[in-house]
């Protein structure tokens, strides 16, 4: 069983995250921190503080979240891990969280991924996620239960469209059949994409209510960068996983419904729509460049 934490200039969060992992009641853990090219002395501090209890892997540069996770997954598989927990560095685990996720994995052989009940770190009684649902027709993903006070309403083990990437347990069997995370996403939506690919191969993703974690969220990026990468990931997911009718439907939904209603509720936040427009332009430019490369290659072959 391996736990993979990605660090990028986030030493205080990573230290606290790893400490919560090391307090786990699950006895056999390979704890790995993949440093994504941090600018400071994060690597030296982590090695000095945790010693042999934690393997610190230096990526050498910022591979993005998906790329760093893939580096960790590859090393974990090479060391014989049957289960791999991908954990955001600004998340904290309850001591029994890993044990509960592992028990669910052993009981559900059709599963590819599992996630716990995740609470907001600053409001520890309020749910942030119990896994997610996706609508290809609207081009949206939502965290089930987000913003609700926990009154026991989400206390059943249930399948989800995707396991939330803040804390996501993967099985070796599924990784070997599905493959690694898609590194083109760089950050955000990579777990949704992976879970969809797993479902296409007959696997399921589950929410495990007895496992608990707390997550701050979006601490690596500024708000504008977070919005850009999140929306870029959403458009990329549609491009990769949706059919043409769904892409058209999602585009119309965002332009004719979502954007106008958002402006009515928050007219001062027009900057968000501008950032999301940048994400759409990125995709259009990317498509043009890709088609140009294909045409150039075909011309050379001809």
CATH classification of the domain holding 112: 3.90.550.60
177 and 150 in a single domain? The answer is yes
- Ramachandran sector of residue 140 (left: φ over 0; alpha: ψ -120 to 50; beta: rest): beta
Which three-class secondary structure state does DSSP give residue 38? coil
Q: Single out the residue of 32, 206, 186, 178 nearest to residue 108, CA to CA.
A: 206
Kindly state the DSSP code that residue 28 receives in the 8-state scheme: -
pLDDT of residue 95: 98
Total of domains in the chain = 2
Name the residue range of residue 14's domain: 2-215
287 and 245 in a single domain? The answer is yes
Q: How many angstroms separate the CA atoms of 91 and 80, rounded?
A: 25
Q: Among the three residues 164, 194, 215, which one is the final residue of a domain in this structure?
A: 215
85 and 194 in a single domain? The answer is yes
**Cα-trace Rg, the chain:** 20
44 and 108 in a single domain? The answer is yes
49 and 149 in a single domain? The answer is yes
Which three-class secondary structure state does DSSP give residue 254? helix
> Could you tell me the end-to-end alpha-carbon distance of the chain, in angstroms, rounded to an integer?
51
190 and 235 in a single domain? The answer is no
User: What is the widest separation between alpha-carbon atoms in the chain?
Assistant: 66
228 and 209 in a single domain? The answer is no
Q: 214 near 124, Cβ under 8 Å?
A: yes
65 and 44 in a single domain? The answer is yes
Q: Among the three residues 183, 215, 247, which one is the final residue of a domain in this structure?
A: 215
89 and 162 in a single domain? The answer is yes
Give the angle 44-46-47 at the CA atoms, nearest 5°.
Answer: 65
pLDDT of residue 293: 53
Q: Give the start-end residues of each E strand in 46-124.
A: 54-58, 83-87, 91-93, 111-120
Q: What is the pLDDT of residues 192-251, one digit of tens each?
A: 999 999 999 999 999 999 999 999 975 566 778 888 888 889 889 998 999 999 989 988
pLDDT of residue 166: 95
Q: What is the pLDDT of residues 68-83, one digit of tens each?
A: 999 999 999 999 999 9
Q: Single out the residue of 131, 127, 109, 111 nearest to residue 119, CA to CA.
A: 127
65-101: b (≥16 Cβ within 10 Å) or e? bbbbbbbbbebbbeeebebbbbbbbbbbbbebbbbbb
Query: If 0-12 CB within 10 Å is exposed, 13-18 middle and 19+ buried, where does residue 209 land?
Result: middle
pLDDT of residue 258: 82
119 and 243 in a single domain? The answer is no
Q: Among the three residues 192, 215, 238, which one is the final residue of a domain in this structure?
A: 215
104 and 158 in a single domain? The answer is yes
127 and 260 in a single domain? The answer is no
pLDDT of residue 220: 64
């Amino acid at each position: 069983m391996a736990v993979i934490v990605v660090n990028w200039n986030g030493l205080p969060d990573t230290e606290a995250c790893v400490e919560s992992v090391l307090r786990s009641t699950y006895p056999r853990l390979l704890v790995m921190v993949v440093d994504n090219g941090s600018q400071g002395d994060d690597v030296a501090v982590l090695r000095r503080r945790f010693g042999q209890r934690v393997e610190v892997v230096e990526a050498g540069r910022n591979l993005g979240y998906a790329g760093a996770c893939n580096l960790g997954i590859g090393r974990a598989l090479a060391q014989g891990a049957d289960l791999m927990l991908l954990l955001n560095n600004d998340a904290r685990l309850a001591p029994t969280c890993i044990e509960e996720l592992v028990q669910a994995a052993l009981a559900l052989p059709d599963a590819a991924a599992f996630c716990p009940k995740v609470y907001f770190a600053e409001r520890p009684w309020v749910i942030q996620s119990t896994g997610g649902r996706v609508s290809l027709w609207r081009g949206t993903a939502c965290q089930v239960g987000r913003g609700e006070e926990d009154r026991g309403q989400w206390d059943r083990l249930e399948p989800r469209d995707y396991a939330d990437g803040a804390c996501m347990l993967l099985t070796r069997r599924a990784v070997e059949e599905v493959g690694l995370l898609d590194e083109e996403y760089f950050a955000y939506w990579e777990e949704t994409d992976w879970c969809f690919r797993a479902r296409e191969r007959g696997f399921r993703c589950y929410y495990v209510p007895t496992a608990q974690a707390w997550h701050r969220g979006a601490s690596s990026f500024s708000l504008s960068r977070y919005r850009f990468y999140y929306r870029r990931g959403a458009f990329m997911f549609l491009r990769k996983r949706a059919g043409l009718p769904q892409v058209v439907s999602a585009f119309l939904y965002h332009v004719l419904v979502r954007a106008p209603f958002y402006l009515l509720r928050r007219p001062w936040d027009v900057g968000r729509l501008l950032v999301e427009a940048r994400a759409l332009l990125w995709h259009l430019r990317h498509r043009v460049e890709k088609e140009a490369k294909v045409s150039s290659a075909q011309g050379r072959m001809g």
